Structure formats: structure tokens, C-alpha cells
Amino acid sequence: MKLDDIKKLHQKKYRNSFGFYLVEGEHLVLELEKAADTNKVLMGAQLFVTDSYQHWSSRLPKTLLSEKQMARITDTKSPQGIIAIVPCSASHDVTQPLVMPISNKERTIYLHEIQDPGNLGTILRTLAWFGNFRCLISPESVDPYNPKVVRASMGAIFHVPIEVDVPLKELIHRYSRFACLDIQGKRVSNNKFSDYDCYIFGNEARGLPQAEIDQLKATTFSIQGAGNIESLNLATAVNICAYELNRDTMFN
């Protein structure tokens, strides 16, 4: 890929067109290489390095760039000198996203019109920490391959199966039991909270569309608090729920 095309990957339309996204920095590249051991599609990534990283040992193809060339393709003020382009999917078609095989123990987190890159990156990091989670993202959401999301995920994006542009109404064809959060719901500490196939979380400001949630017959649960403020941050809510879903596993 030409340097001018790599630079364009900072924009979603070109990530969609080329089927690649950018990863910058030593930590993220290390996580990429670790994940490539089990997800062979990631071996389609390519490294670009400056002199300071020319001896970097990697199974990924590597291209040496000058400092000036590196500065052209990054969006950071002080580039580390190592960057990778990573396939969004096996087919380079974002409508057929890079999806890892489904595990029998896997749970699904569905995010409806999530907007904040930091929230999505933090959620992916939590799901990777606990493991056995799949993340489905609705249309009109922030792009998971946005550089801000990738950085906030701290490499978790390579370890969590992600599906993009999944309409809420299509969930009924894939899952049978749904749960979501509502202030009037049962406590998430209830032992029934772990009995569902898909856990649905809404937009940071608007929440979930009630009519569609009613059609899914979703059971509502609540994270109990002191009631001094109206709501929790979305990423915090997902973090608490992921912990609750893994509590039995962690302490048994």
C-alpha cells in the first residue's frame, strides 16, 4: 500500500474502502503480534518502522521508512517509529467483519449507537480482560477501527470478536433471551442475570429504543446505587455487568 493511502486510513471511508486500519506504537504492535498467533487473519498486517525499530523481530512483513515518511502517515505529534496496517476483515469488506469462531461459553454484548471512542475502547478492554465475550455494534455507532478507539482499547481490539453494523431488529434471529439495564429492573447481582444470550446496552444520551426492546421481550436489570445522580457512564455499566457475569467463574 502506498504511503498516501496509509495516511488516508485515518478516515473511516478509506478504512472501509481499503479494508485496513492503523495501529501505532510499540505496545499495540506487540498485542497485534500476540493475537496473530491464534488469529491467522491478523498475519495479513504489515509493519512500517524507522531506524530505531529496524531490528524489531516480527513474523509480519516489515518496511523501513525515514522519519519524514513516518511523520506523513501518523496522527501523533511524536511518533514512536513503529506503525502497522491491520485487516478489518478477511475479505476486506466491512460488511463481513473479522469474526472469530463462536465459543459455547461465549456471551454477547450488543452496543446500540455508541458514540464515544473512549467508551468503546474501554468496553473492549474489559471484555478482553474477562474473555469469552463477543461485541456486536449497531449501525450509526462510532467505528471500532477509529484510531481513538484502537488506542483506548490498549490492544483489546485484537482479542475480542467484533461485528459491526448489526441492526437491533436482527438480534431476534440469532438469540432467544435478552437482558438490558433499567433503573426499575432486578439487581444485576441476582443469580438469574447470567442466564441470557445477549446483553443490550444503549446510546450514552438516549438509551435504548423502547419499542424494539419490547419486541425482543428483554428482561430488565439494574445496577443499584445511592440514587444521587441519574445514570452511570456506559463503559462503567458494561464493566460492572461483565464482572457480575464472571463472578461465579472467578470465585469457584
- Rounded CA gap, 108 and 82, in Å? 33
Q: Supply the pLDDT for residue 191.
A: 86
Residue range 40-48: mean pLDDT, rounded: 92
Flag whether pLDDT at 165 surpasses 50: yes
Q: Give whole-number Cα distances, 70 to 8, 31, 73, 77, in Å.
A: 14, 21, 6, 11
Residue range 21-40: mean pLDDT, rounded: 92
Domain ranges for the chain? 3-87, 107-250
pLDDT band at 5 (very low <50, low <70, confident <90, very high): very high
Average of per-residue pLDDT values in the chain = 88
What contacts 104, CB < 8 A, 6 or more positions away?
none
CA 165 to chain centre: 13
Cα–Cα nearest to 81, from 96, 100, 98, 68? 68
**Cα-based torsion angle of the residue sequence 110, 186, 204, 15 in order, rounded to the nearest 10 degrees:** -10
Identity at 107, one-letter amino acid code: R
Identity at 193, one-letter amino acid code: F
pLDDT band at 249 (very low <50, low <70, confident <90, very high): low
- Rounded CA gap, 81 and 190, in Å? 49
Q: Supply the pLDDT for residue 224.
A: 85
Helices and strands (H, E) in the chain, number of each type: 8, 10
- 8 A C-beta contact, residue 141 and residue 115: yes
CATH architecture of 3-87: 2-Layer Sandwich (3.30)
Q: What is the pTM of this model?
A: 0.88
pLDDT band at 100 (very low <50, low <70, confident <90, very high): very low
Cα separation of the two ends of the chain: 50
Q: Which superfamily does CATH assign the domain made up of 107-250 to?
A: SPOUT methyltransferase, trefoil knot domain (3.40.1280.10)
pLDDT band at 92 (very low <50, low <70, confident <90, very high): very low
Q: Supply the pLDDT for residue 229.
A: 66
For 243-248, the CB contacts below 8 A with 24+ separation are 243/130, 244/188, 244/189, 244/193, 244/194, 245/107, 245/130, 245/193, 245/194, 245/199, 246/130, 248/194
Q: Supply the pLDDT for residue 93.
A: 35
Condensed to tens digits (0 to 9), the pLDDT of residues 174-217 reads 999 999 998 888 899 888 999 999 999 999 888 899 999 999 99
Identity at 3, one-letter amino acid code: L
Helix axis angle for 117-130 and 234-250, nearest 10°, is 0
Flag whether pLDDT at 245 surpasses 60: yes
| Owner of C-alpha cell 457480575 | 244
Identity at 86, one-letter amino acid code: V
Q: Give whole-number Cα distances, 119 to 114, 126, 219, 226, in Å.
A: 8, 11, 24, 23
High-pLDDT (> 90) share of the chain, %: 71
- Rounded CA gap, 20 and 100, in Å? 17
